[in-house]
Amino acid sequence: MPDDIVALYRTMLLIRRFEERAAEMYTLGKIGGFCHLYNGQEAVATGAIAALRPDDYVLVYYRDHGHALARGSDPKAVMAELFGKATGLCRGKGGSMHLFDAPRGFLGGYAIVGEHLALAVGVGLAISYRGGDQVAACFFGDGAVNGGMFHEALNLAALWNLPVVFVCENNHFGMGTPIAVAMSRPEHLHEKAEAYGMAHDVVDGMDVLAVRDRVGDAVRRARKDRTPVLIEAKTYRFVGHSMRDPAHGVYRTREELEHEKSRDPIKTFPKLLKEKGLATDEGLAEIDQEVRRIVDDAVAFAEASPVLPPEAIVEDVYA
Amino acid sequence: MSVMAYRDALNLALREEMHRDDRVFIMGEEVGAYQGAYKVTKGLLQEFGKRRVIDTPIAEAGFVGAGVGAAMAGLRPVVEVMTFNFAVAAMDSIVNTAAKVHYMSGGQVSVPMVIRGPGGSARQLAAQHSQALEAWFCHVPGLKVCAPGTPRDARGLLKSAIRDDNPVLVIESELLYGATGEVPQAEDLIPLGVAAIVRPGRDCAVIAYSKMVREALAAADTLAAEGIEVEVVDPRTLRPFDWDTVLASVRKTKRAVVVQEGWTFCGVAAEIAAKISAEAFDELDAPVERVTSLDVPLPYARPLEAATVPEAGRIAAAVKKALYLV
Ligand SMILES: Cc1ncc(C[n+]2csc(CCOP(=O)(O)OP(=O)(O)O)c2C)c(N)n1
């Protein structure tokens, strides 16, 4: 168990270091397009995915680097995908917003807000159809909750008793719009599940252990009782909406941002590990060195990899 | 051979494929207990049960999207849209996801699903229920689109669509459901992307699909009485398109009329006409003619409706124009 807990820290740190380098590479022009970083939200993907089995499914939105890494995707292949290289997870055809890793049940990052909630329902339906005991975990932002698909998807999942765990990462903003400007009764987000007779829970998304435990409960319940659950993880993003935006923007103050950073799981979790005697300063430094090396290797690998040849442009349109 | 209605041929295809492959299931509004809004799924709930014939709420975005997800996870859904007018509510799942997942996953994940239901104009259903929207779907790489014009093609194309590993839209014709025709008793797969010469002729190629085939054949009958031999070609599948058969017919007849129920501007006929003009320009004896619906929402009033949608008289006139007879 202690090893597991330290592993959670390692995963969160890997994501943070990965995103720091991704930002650098974006600034250097090595990564293009829209690139949405996950800084600040690491505890959500890390904790939630730790509660899943290898044969479960994961569907994600466009802020997906962290989820792929937490699911065990090779950091080299993830970075190479951001670089658009042939060695990338999707051969350079998906990019930052569309990471897929089928052997890990990682069924994609989707760039249309809310669209993939229905896909998760379909995956849940397929599990149920086959009589399997997997679950489908579906991650999305608070912005998706205001769209019609959220309600269609929750209704279907509840109506059909599907093993889908909906994880809403409430980072309090949809791009530059604070949640209170976009959502009625935002303080009751997770209770929206109530209307569908669906179990729901809210968890501190800055606390990786809490996320793992509460999502773990939801996953067990979904697996056993074949019922969907909505989990709201309250978190915060420390960076701009995408690499094209400044970190604080006009929709929040520097003070607010700095205040939220005091909850940074990368800072608070190691304190806890030390208090519990699960880690030492040296041990933590070693982990940092190790993940920095992994990320360095990923960048070097991505740099050195080729892009697909032009004839591959027309491949993969049809199966 | 047995004679059966277009809707029964579709029903037969569904039954046969559901017997063949347990991964095939049906989902849509009223497909189960109600037996299908147009009775295409009649008897299937009784035969296959609730696990495989799933009634959905009136929520096209959700259930079409769920079909995409189920296909990604290894099933072979046949999702019925009550009519393609309502598929518009699910356009996001169709265009942004079903068509794109295989490509953007670098070939890792495919979407072997069918989206089917009636399309085109019906009788006096007016602007929101009478639209031929196939051009929208044909426009999107990653989708396949077919539009059967006979019971035999309906069964054969739907079976091929179900076995295809891609998202395939089978756009049926609301006005053809009761139309009868011969359907072989034996297994009969009509491959996607293969056109049929419905009626051979030497003077002019008329390219028409779905219920426009009937109008083209009626025009051909009238013209035959005047000694004009029209060749009617039905592409059957609109994407991928059988250019070889169509171009061969045009090269033989030296003239082409393209018929399509959808609107003129940016329509399927525009694509076909452009390709014929580019590939067979030297062999053409006349410009390619198009016969399409007028560029207006479909009016309700019967005579106005009839004047908007292509019919045999307009096709015959276009053939005569291509032959410089008018
Ligand atoms: C349907 C749709 N509309 C608009 C956008 C543009 N867009 C991309 S992300 C985003 C904000 C979404 O916020 P949220 O769901 O809370 O997720 P977050 O980015 O905060 O993680 C918007 C408006 C989109 N991708 N899809």
**Given this model, what pLDDT does residue A93 score?**
97
Nearest to B38 by CA among B2, B74, B9, B3: B9
Distance A76 CA to ligand 1 centre (A): 27
pLDDT digits (tens, 9 = 90+) for B164-198: 999 999 999 999 999 999 999 999 999 999 999 99
CB–CB of A156/A121 below 8 Å? yes
- Contact call for A119 and B112, based on CB within 8 A: no
Interhelix angle A116-130/A148-159, rounded to 10 degrees, is: 10
Q: How many CB atoms lie within 10 A of CB A302?
A: 25
Q: Please report residues of A whose CB lies closer than 8 A to that of B54.
A: 160
Give mean pLDDT, residues A172-201: 96
- Contact call for B142 and A88, based on CB within 8 A: no
pLDDT band at A246 (very low <50, low <70, confident <90, very high): confident
Give mean pLDDT, residues A124-145: 98
CA distance A107 to A105: 6
Give mean pLDDT, residues B310-316: 98
The answer to whether residue B161 scores a pLDDT higher than 70 is: yes
Strand-pairing partners, residue B55, are B28
CA distance B82 to B31: 9
pLDDT digits (tens, 9 = 90+) for B46-104: 999 999 999 999 999 999 999 999 999 999 999 999 999 999 999 999 999 999 999 99
CA distance A145 to A130: 29
CA distance B64 to B79: 7
- Contact call for B105 and A88, based on CB within 8 A: no
Query: Which structure tokens are listed for B122?
Result: 């019906």
Distance A241 CA to ligand 1 centre (A): 9
pLDDT band at A248 (very low <50, low <70, confident <90, very high): confident
Residue of B nearest to A104 (CA): B108
Q: Please report residues of A whose CB lies closer than 8 A to that of B115.
A: none
**Given this model, what pLDDT does residue A1 score?**
60
Sign of CA dihedral B209, B214, B215, B220: positive
Report residue A149: phi and psi, to 5°: -65, -35
Q: Please report residues of A whose CB lies closer than 8 A to that of B75.
A: 125-126, 129
pLDDT band at A247 (very low <50, low <70, confident <90, very high): confident
B75 touches chain A (CB under 8 A): yes
- Active site amino acids of B: 60, 129
Q: Which of B68, B92, B105 to mutate to test the interface with A (most CBs of A within 10 A)?
A: B105
Residue of B nearest to A111 (CA): B96
Query: Which A residues in the span 141-170 are in contact with B, Cβ-Cβ below 8 Å?
Result: 148-149, 152-153, 155-156, 159-160
Is pTM, for the whole model, over 0.90? yes
Give mean pLDDT, residues B118-129: 94
Cis upstream peptide for A2 (omega within 30°): no
Nearest to B208 by CA among B314, B307, B111: B314
The answer to whether residue A307 scores a pLDDT higher than 90 is: yes
Give mean pLDDT, residues A104-115: 97
Please name the helix (run of DSSP H) or strand (run of DSSP E) that holds residue A235, with its range, or none. Answer: none
What is the residue type of A140? F
